[in-house]
Amino acid sequence: MSARKRNRQKGRREGGSFLAIPHAVLESENWKRCSGTAAKLLIDIAGLYRGKNNGDLAPALIKRPASEAKVRALRELVHYGLLVQTKHGGLGMPSLYALTWHAIDHCGGHLEVAATTTAPGFWREERPKFVPPETRKPLRKSNKPASIFEAGTSVEEEHRFGNRTFKRGFSTNAASETEHLSRSTNGGAP
């Protein structure tokens, strides 16, 4: 019996596929600059590669991280040249990507880029630090409702009771409030 067969029979060897990332990629400056989320996502995407489907890798099939973090990590990986987008998604179709340390495969001819015989190797080109695009800003700076009592503003309120309408206006002025507070604490003296 061969050593290979003996290892399998005794349960010493795990079967199945494996993931190979070249040491040159792992030692590159672009890999070192990647965030943890981007590095983990790249490993997950590389796990989808089966030898003949480079260019047909869909990150949408990966459940983690959440979509906003995934989009940012994908942009980062494309920026550093570790991935290249081969097809834009939309209307129920996922965007497709290729690993840049393998040649891009034909994949049935549905890619927007041509198949290559050599790896693109964009990861070799040293890139500056990734700066994510600005995200949408919230409408308010906090969760608290906007205050109507800002210094020097006037507010007119309208109240309805039955068929009558009452209007009440008041103004807030920091100086008059301080004066009012000092009178009440000093016994009415100015």
58 domain residue, yes or no: yes
Residues 120 and 157 in one domain: no
Residues 65 and 153 in one domain: no
**pLDDT for position 177:** 47
Q: How far, rounded to the nearest angstrom, does the alpha carbon of residue 150 sit from its chain's CA centroid?
A: 37
Confidence of residue 180 (pLDDT cuts 50, 70, 90): very low
**DSSP conformation letters of 137-183:** PPSSSSSSPPPS--TTEEEEEEEEETTEEEEEEEEE-HHHHHHHHHH
Among 153, 157, 159, 52, smallest CA distance to 98 is for 52
pLDDT, average across residues 126-133: 90
Between residues 67 and 6, which one has the greater pLDDT?
A: 67
136 domain residue, yes or no: no
Q: pLDDT (tens digit, 9 = 90+) per residue, 40-79?
A: 999 999 999 999 999 999 998 888 777 889 999 999 999 9
Tokens representing residue 38 in the block? 């981007």
Residues 152 and 115 in one domain: no
Residues 107 and 172 in one domain: no
Residues 26 and 113 in one domain: yes
Tokens representing residue 66 in the block? 């959440």
> Could you tell me the pTM of the whole model?
0.64
Q: Which residue has the tokens 């000092």?
A: 182
Q: How far apart are CA 110 and CA 130, in angstroms?
A: 30
Residues 32 and 118 in one domain: yes
Percent of the chain with pLDDT over 70: 63
Residues 159 and 103 in one domain: no
Q: How far apart are CA 94 and CA 75, in angstroms?
A: 15
Domain holding 119, by residue range, is 20-124
- HSE at residue 32, side-chain half, CA atoms within 13 A, is 9
Helices marked H in the chain: 3-9, 23-26, 29-33, 36-46, 67-79, 174-185
Residues 34 and 119 in one domain: yes
**pLDDT for position 124:** 93
Residues 91 and 154 in one domain: no
**pLDDT for position 67:** 84
Last residue of a domain, one of 68, 96, 124: 124
